[in-house]
Structure formats: structure tokens, C-alpha cells
Structure 1
């Protein structure tokens, strides 16, 4: 069972909706301290939509960093500001976009459940990143006039029966041990990488392509973070 108290800092970078562009405010993870001491983080969004900032922890900081995003804990993602022109989606691509929302919610809810159970901070950091990703996909669903299948659904609940079955199976697996939870997380990221790679094929909408490319890179980072 979980015995460690987690302390994380969140930096919110404010985006703006530009001319035909999509900007999404997203939290940035600061490095989590492994010892006592306050954590502070700073950042700003430039007129070009780039997010910059840094995080630092007083005391024994496990991770700190500079550059785009913030100092990252294990598996964390830089802050995301998404800008892109709206394009055209086929009916099949809109269905895929809705499925992406369910995949991001599954990852977020699963990692949050594991974070509450185990001391490994990676689950907490990646769960926060997945929350950013879900916000991006939901924004695109709204932009393209598509129904959000995750709207109003509590943690661990899904409208798609196959997604619900997958979540329940992975959650049960992860409850057996921390090693089993890491294995379940790796499976989620491998599935996401495959789905995003397929979704990018034939996609022409700049904003959706940009989001999928960012999510693909994030899933690759998360897979590496969960690999021990």
C-alpha cells in the first residue's frame, strides 16, 4: 500500500485562441522533491504560443530542468500549447478522434488509481500529463462538432463496453503488484503508440495532426518511463 506523501507543483501556461489557431492552456509538471522543502515553478507563454519555464525544489530535489515546459519528474511531459489551422475530417477520422478521448481517459484514470496505491511517482506524473492530453482531444472534438464520449463520466467509467472491459482488466492486473501495474502501463502506452501511428495516416487537418504527433511523442516518453 502507499506510504509516501507526494508533493508536486503545477504550472499553468495560459494559451490564447488566435486567428484560425488553437491554443490550449495546460499544466506543466515541476520536479518533485525527494526530501523536505517547498517547490516553486515559473513559466510564461510567448506571443508565438511557446511555453517556457522551469521548476525547482528546495531541499533535495529529485529533478529540475530548464527549457520548453518545466523541470520534469519521471515520465512527465512538457507543457503543451497547441496551435494549428482547422482542417477537414472524414466521418471515420471523427470516430477515431472520439476513440482517442477514451484512450486518454483510460490512461489517466488507470495511472491515477495506481498512483493512489503505489509509491512510484511516475504514475502520478504521467496521470497529470494524460489529463493534459484529454483536454487537447476534447477541445478538438468541440471544434469539429463531435460528441465527447467521456463527458460526464466518472473515473474508471466508459461508454464504450470494450474500453470498459480493457480498463477493468488492466486495473485488476495492476492491483496485484507494483511490477504488474508497470506492465499494465506499458501495455497502455504501446496500444496508444499503435493507435496514434495509424490515425496519422492520411490525416490532413493541421491541428489534429499536430495534437496526434505530440501525443505520439508523449506516449513514447511514457513507455520509456514505465520500462525498468
Structure 2
């Protein structure tokens, strides 16, 4: 059975979510009070509705009470929008929705949204800036993703001058508290074991604590 997800708020962040979800095996309901945003979202999903998310009857009519998860993707660029997010979450709780993920643009907003019932908080501005900072600060870092807390995955480009070495001989796990999850080599994906050889120009996906990732970068480049 497909999971059903509602996205409330279809500005840039919400619209990106709808586009991403449209590529997955889920049922989506998308809602915004702005007709222009709804038209944009309709390019990706069929069930898109112009509605006031602070009105519980409008939420019921849209079928929100029957979904598994709701994402409140409304930005908090002004106090009115934060108030809309807060009221929306309260109405969702009244409908019996348990899994509510809310967008917050700062820590104060995050605390307020948690207090009224959000079960998960995402801070897209922080995520984006963190990825950009890591990529710009490292010549060999292809990409960077925060997973949870201080655990992250980094994609690192191995130097062309690197000497071929087996993962077990690098002793990465014991020395750096890191794990190599995947290796991309000439367009192919390799799921490595301890005997896998890392070669020059490989792209390796490394998992571990944020503070430890730069250590392996120096080893591979």
C-alpha cells in the first residue's frame, strides 16, 4: 500500500518537495492558498488544491485527515507566515495527524513549532548553507549531506596521484571512525568490502561524524 503524504505550502521549498515526491511511489496532496503556486505544483501532481490550511473544514475537504504524514513547508519570512504554520499544525493535530514535519527558518521558529505539535523539524536554509560551506572549503569534496545530528555523508574525489590501496590497508574505520559506503568509478557504483581497492580518480562516499570527515580527505587526496 502506498504511503500518503500532504505538502502544505508550495513556495520554492514546498514545490521542490512535491517534485521530488512525484518521482517516488507515494500518493501526494499539495495545498497552498496561492493559486499561482498551485498551478506550478500541478505540473508534478494531480491532487493540488487552493485552500486555507488554517481552516480545519478546508483541510477535511482536501482529504488531509486521511494521510499518513504531513509536511508544513510554509516559510517564516514574516510573523504572519509563522503564525500560519503554528495554526496549521494545531488544526492537523485536531484532525488526528500524528506525523507532522514542519519547516523552520531559525531555531526560535523550530522551538515554537515543536511546542504546538510538530514531530519533526527541517531547517532548509541551514542545510543548504552547510552543504555550500563544506563544498567551497574543500577542493576535493564533491558533495556533502547531513544525515542526522552530527552524522554526515561526504562524496570525496580521490586524487589522480593516489596509489592504489585496499580499504583494509588504509585502516579507515579504526583510525578515523569513518566508513566507506560506496565507490563510484567511471560511471559504475561499487559496494565495497575490506578488500576493495581504491583507485585514483574514484569518488568515494564516506559516512561518519562531521568533525572526522576532513581527516580522510587528506588521506585520499
Does TM, normalized by the shorter one, top 0.5? no
Higher relative contact order (CA 8 A, sep 6+): 1
TM-score, normalised via structure 1 length: 0.28
Bigger strand share: 2
Bigger helix share: 1
Task: Pick the structure with greater CA Rg.
Answer: 2
